[in-house]
Every structure is written in structure tokens, then in C-alpha cells.
């Protein structure tokens, strides 16, 4: 069982429960291309359950019995108000903070599921599939756009810029709320830029968001924990 609880970057707990993590696939054209996926004409949505969340600041316990586990670095949005069929201004007002997440994916299993036209949950919703960073309050970040990076063993691996998203964050949240009610404490994952790849035990992952958040974590074999 996960003991995950939202935190602010100053270490204070966020007094909201995590209900669900609503994600969008293929939100950066270059990442869609690297996996030979067509760019969807509507946001491709899926949900990770609260039980998939773990603290990104702790070591990542790698399990590979179902094939390779890919990292996907994504900007995470913390929701602070209930949203159902929200307008853009309601969606914007509901954003409490931003953080970073890894949308961990059993890539081989996902490819099999995609081939069969089956849902992706077994590849993306397992326990530990969503390491989440502490959150930065929205007023401490640039208003117009966000940038983030992932370095592995101190080499740049992924760079994201929200201006390159196919669906921008505010309309994306409004769209999600037309399909699922979002509740305070829910998290939105906004898609990964190109550069995804397999986690390996021994890797050091360094993530940065807009010079406001720095997180370093390590990958370890689950059997060693």
C-alpha cells in the first residue's frame, strides 16, 4: 500500500486527498512520432489510480517481470476546486500548483495491449506507476509557460516546454472535466516530450521545473529494497 500524501516544496503537507490522476497521451507531436503513434485529433485520456502514486523524492523500486519500464517525465497539475463541465476560466482558477511526475509504463505490455485494442491500465496503473514530486504554488511560477527537464546520470534526456503541447493546460483541464468530474487533490498529467526510455537500476534521475523545483532520485532493484 502506498503512503503517498501531497506536499508543497517547502515540506508542508497539502491538506487534500489524492483521488485520481488524469493523464493525456501523445500531447507532444515529437513523442507521438518517436513511438510511431498517430497524433490524435482529440485528447487521448486515461486515469492512474491513487494507489499508483509514490513520492518521487524516494528511490524508485524497479520491477521488470512484465518487461521494460519506461520513464515519461510530465508536468503535473494539482487541482484545488471541483470541476464539472468547467469553462476555461474555471479550469484556470482551479490550478493550485505545479509539480513533476513520472508516468511509468510497462512499454512491452502496453504495445501488446495496443495491438489488441485493449485498455492500458495493466501497463500504466500498477502500484508505484506514478512517482510525484512536491508541488510549487502556482504564484511562484512563470504565468505564461513552464519548462522542465530530466537528466539521467547528469546527461540531458528530456526537455519539455508547455508551448509545444498539442493541448494547452487550461483547455485540456476543461476538456477532461467534460468527461470526468475533477475533485480537489486530483492531479493532471499533461503528457511527455520526446526522449522516453527504459529505467535501469543504478540510474540517477534529476528533474527540474522552471528553476523553482529540483528533485533527484535513484533507481534501485525492487528485490534489493
Radius of gyration of the chain (CA): 16
Contact pick of 192, 195, 199, 217 for Zn ion (by CB under 5 A): 192
| SS3 call for 44 | strand
Q: Does residue 72 touch Zn ion according to CB under 5 A?
A: yes
Q: With CB under 5 A as the contact rule, which of the stretches 55-63, 80-88, 190-198, 202-210 interacts with Zn ion? A: 190-198
Nearer to Zn ion, 105 or 217 (CB): 105
Is the distance from CB of 187 to CB of 132 less than 8 angstroms? yes
Nearer to Zn ion, 162 or 192 (CB): 192
Q: Does residue 148 touch Zn ion according to CB under 5 A?
A: no
Nearer to Zn ion, 184 or 198 (CB): 198
Residue 35 is given by DSSP the state: T
Measured between alpha carbons, how far is 137 from 213 in angstroms, rounded to an integer?
11
Q: Does residue 158 touch Zn ion according to CB under 5 A?
A: no
Measured between alpha carbons, how far is 30 from 18 in angstroms, rounded to an integer?
30
CA dihedral 86, 90, 93, 97 (to 10 degrees): 10
Closest approach of Zn ion to the CB of residue 99, in Å: 15
Q: Does residue 110 touch Zn ion according to CB under 5 A?
A: no
Nearer to Zn ion, 72 or 186 (CB): 72
Measured between alpha carbons, how far is 220 from 218 in angstroms, rounded to an integer?
6
Q: With CB under 5 A as the contact rule, which of the stretches 54-62, 65-73, 92-100, 197-205 interacts with Zn ion? A: 65-73
| SS3 call for 176 | helix
Nearer to Zn ion, 152 or 184 (CB): 152
Contacts to Zn ion by CB under 5 A? 72, 103, 192
Amino acid at each position: 500500500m502506498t503512503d503517498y500524501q501531497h506536499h508543497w516544496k517547502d515540506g508542508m503537507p497539502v491538506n487534500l486527498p489524492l483521488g485520481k490522476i488524469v493523464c493525456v497521451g501523445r500531447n507532444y507531436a515529437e513523442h507521438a512520432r518517436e513511438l510511431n503513434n498517430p497524433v490524435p485529433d482529440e485528447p487521448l485520456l486515461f486515469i492512474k489510480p491513487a494507489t499508483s502514486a509514490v513520492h518521487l523524492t524516494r528511490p524508485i523500486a524497479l520491477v521488470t517481470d512484465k518487461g521494460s519500464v519506461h520513464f515519461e517525465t510530465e508536468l503535473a497539475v494539482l487541482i484545488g476546486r471541483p470541476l464539472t463541465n468547467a469553462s476555461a476560466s474555471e479550469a484556470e482558477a482551479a490550478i493550485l500548483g505545479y509539480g513533476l511526475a513520472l508516468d511509468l509504463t510497462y512499454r512491452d505490455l502496453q504495445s501488446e495491449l495496443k495491438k489488441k485494442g485493449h485498455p492500458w491500465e495493466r501497463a500504466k496503473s500498477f502500484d508505484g506507476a506514478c512517482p510525484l514530486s512536491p508541488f510549487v504554488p502556482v504564484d511562484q511560477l512563470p504565468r505564461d509557460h513552464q519548462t522542465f527537464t530530466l537528466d539521467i546520470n547528469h546527461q540531458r534526456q528530456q526537455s519539455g516546454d508547455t508551448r509545444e503541447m498539442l493541448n494547452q493546460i487550461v483547455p485540456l483541464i476543461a476538456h477532461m472535466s467534460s468527461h470526468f468530474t475533477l475533485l480537489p487533490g486530483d492531479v493532471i498529467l499533461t503528457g511527455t516530450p520526446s526522449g522516453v526510455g527504459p529505467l535501469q537500476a543504478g540510474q540517477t534521475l534529476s528533474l527540474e521545473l522552471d528553476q523553482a523545483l529540483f528533485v533527484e532520485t535513484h533507481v534501485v532493484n525492487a528485490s534489493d529494497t
